A and B are shown apart, each in its own frame.
Chain A
């Protein structure tokens, strides 16, 4: 069973898929609702304190905006724990969304730098691609069982 980092980390669907196929999802599974009534698209369910951005200094220097560092205090430890990763590019907001493009760039960089098994997929745009999308994730996760003891 591998610890699989997910991007977008807020994707409930990805998180569910990973768990179904017997692995541990590393994600901040949040429900992206039809109506947005919170400060951001992926507002955290927990109250982050000003300590968050300080903890984030481990992954981003002090001149990096506090919002990036605050996010990194959540996602940084997940990246460190990750034994594999699934990255979905250009995902629809309803699939999972992370509000800050700069954090997204940093997360993508750090996870790619780790040299762990990685699945890089485009978000599907029709049913056919959708079926192949799920199949590709299944193949990747099945393959992990052998790779990660």
Chain B
């Protein structure tokens, strides 16, 4: 496939000085950004028809361009919607356009609110996911793992490896990430030992996560792919929800992902987190402060009541202060654990889940999904039952192993 053409619908990137960063991120994944060509005369009619009477002309232009894409007057492989962070008018347009495109076309779409500090590195995984969906639809449609394959997820907090044979997980390895390659080697060693196979027998390997390129090169991976598409695939595979809509929530060690999935392929997604206070890191810190292992934090939180402790971990420093203050004031560890879980869930709910359409089943994955208190807090906020599949912490590795089987020789 030639360059993936990503249509940009935006307001303010050039005056924020970040248009170059957007172009650079797209170029890094062999894609090109273009601006749907519109006649000035058509602009007013298009946004009138859409019915959202915003005042900023550039937002009107974005609406008119979205209509041109949906109506097929302009062709694109994917859509990138970007507006200024903290602009309420733009936030409304961004959300409505994302929803409009998602509901009325098959174009993958991602939205982002930038500041002048946004870099191409921040945008890279999003652009990579957009191009993966456009380029590898056939691969992403794979629902069954075949042969003997391995997936490695080199995450910011932990490194996971999974060995699969004929659609079943036969070996797993997990450890905290320190040196990226050494951690991957150890996770692989543990996974193949448990599987009872040798490294040479593995027919195809896939890598994902922050260290995917480095580890992918090291293990000569057949597939190196960002975690948005891979985790979606792994989640619907393990939750047995490969067909139809679903929502995947992954609260990671460094950032969070919320993905609206249709037939195993992401449609819209958000990725981010304002501060580590909204990530698994804060829960790790909480368990340390409470003197319990992270695996004990969930059961502890289940015994507590979050509303008894005021806590807002919008910032990890202030969140920690709340934690210390609550303990000093005599709050029970159970209530503090529950409040920490609620605080993280609330931030993900407020900052990210507003940007994707929540469709059931809602699947929570990643290591944090094993913290029951966090899952319960999210269930309360979403008013729905959340599905945590088996091996939820290995989701990226499972997705990689599944997709890698498309690369087995002769397949």
Contact = CB atoms under 8 A, between A and B. Distances in A.
B129 interface: no
A65 B19 contact: no
B236 interface: no
Interface string B1-43: 0000000101111111111100000000000000101111101
A65 B56 contact: no
A79 B90 CA distance: 26
Contacts of A97: 57
Given A66-B85, A94-B40, A49 B17 contact: yes
Contact of A70 (B15, B20, B35): B15
B116 interface: yes
B17 to A, nearest CB: 4
B116 A52 contact: yes
Nearest to B55: A101
Contacts of B58: 39-41, 99-100
Contacts of A100: 11-12, 15, 56-58
Nearest to B84: A65
Contact of A44 (B15, B43, B54, B114): B15
Contacts of A47: 17, 20
Interface in A39-87: 39-41, 43-44, 47-54, 63-71, 74
B86 interface: yes
Interface residues of A, number: 38
Nearest to B117: A50
Interface string B32-71: 0001011111011000000000111111010000000000
Contacts of B37: 35-37
- Residue among B17, B43, B56, B114 having the largest count of chain A Cβ atoms under 10 Å: B17
B40 A52 contact: no
Contacts of A36: 35, 37-40, 43, 61
Interface in A98-114: 98-102
Nearest to A49: B17
Contacts of A44: 14-15
Interface SS of A by simple majority:
loop
A39 B40 CA distance: 14
A66 B57 contact: no
Interface string B73-93: 000000000011111011000
Contacts of A98: 57
Given A66-B12, A66-B116, A39 B89 contact: no
Contact of B17 (A40, A53, A63): A53
Contacts of A40: 10-12, 14-15, 57-58, 61
- Size band of the interface chain B makes with A: 35 or more
B16 A50 contact: yes
Contact of B40 (A33, A48, A54): A33
A38 to B, nearest CB: 6
A41 B83 CA distance: 14
B115 interface: yes
B19 A39 contact: yes
Contacts of A123: none
A40 B83 CA distance: 11
Given A34-B40, A66-B16, A93 B85 contact: no
Given A38-B35, A66-B115, A43 B55 contact: no
A36 B411 CA distance: 46
B376 to A, nearest CB: 35
Nearest to B41: A34
A12 interface: no
B39 A34 contact: yes
Contact of A68 (B44, B61, B84): B84
B40 A67 contact: no
Interface in B163-198: none
A37 B38 CA distance: 7
B409 to A, nearest CB: 45
Interface in B97-115: 114-115
A66 B40 contact: no
A76 to B, nearest CB: 12
A32 interface: yes
A36 B235 CA distance: 41
B89 A102 contact: yes
Interface of A: 32-41, 43-44, 47-54, 63-71, 74, 93-94, 97-102
Kindly list the 4 A-B residue pairs having the minimum CB-CB distance in the complex, ordered from nearest.
A67-B12, A99-B58, A65-B84, A70-B15
